[in-house]
Amino acid sequence: MKRGQAFDTMMLVISVIVAVAILGMLLGFLGGIGSFGAKYSDVIPDLVKKINTQGVGITLQEKVEFSVGGMNPFVAQNAIGTAPISSDNVKFSCVSGDNLCGTDNPLDVEDGSIMINQKITATVAVCYNDQKSTTYHIIIGSVTKNVRNAAMTLCDLG
């Protein structure tokens, strides 16, 4: 029995659908792995550059890994990366009441630097509002919702 051209075409279509489904599952799996434990020294300059391009708003990254060693203290000059802004316009802060920050806590955050005392994972947000201020705020905290709220308040985005 002879098969027509439609049979070969349908087999090709089915093969493409199966390949796309497998690719989707693999990308979903690999994407989940890639977002875990992103290093602070890579994430913060990327967030600053992104918000500098936008001009206003918040960029946020969860599961950012802070570890002792490397750039310690991490200063405003490190945070700006390649963004065309002055390090004088960058301020670091922690979410009020969060146990991540303070002299005897994992991070010691001051206006111009972050001192890492022990390895932790946190959420980082960068906000900026070119209508209200020239300051880029970098906010660190353990609860994403609280980090976002602090960024909204600091940059007057509410």
pLDDT along the chain (158 residues), means of 10: 74 92 81 65 92 90 86 87 90 88 82 87 92 90 92 88
pLDDT of residue 1: 54
The answer to whether residues 74 and 115 belong to one domain is yes
pLDDT of residue 2: 66
Phi and psi, residue 86, nearest 5°: -85, 140
The answer to whether residues 73 and 12 belong to one domain is no
- In the chain, the number of structural domains is 2
The answer to whether residues 11 and 65 belong to one domain is no
The answer to whether residues 50 and 100 belong to one domain is yes
The answer to whether 125 touches 151, Cβ cutoff 8 Å, is yes
The answer to whether residues 9 and 80 belong to one domain is no
The answer to whether residues 13 and 84 belong to one domain is no
Listed in sequence order, the residues at least 6 apart from 23 whose beta carbon sits closer than 8 Å to its beta carbon are none
Domain hosting residue 67, numbered range: 38-154
The answer to whether residues 57 and 27 belong to one domain is no
The answer to whether residues 6 and 59 belong to one domain is no
pLDDT of residue 59: 92
CA dihedral for 129, 135, 136, 141, sign (positive or negative)? negative
The answer to whether residues 46 and 70 belong to one domain is yes
- Tell me the whole-structure pTM to 2 decimals: 0.74
The answer to whether residues 96 and 110 belong to one domain is yes
**CA pair distance 78, 116, nearest whole angstrom:** 14
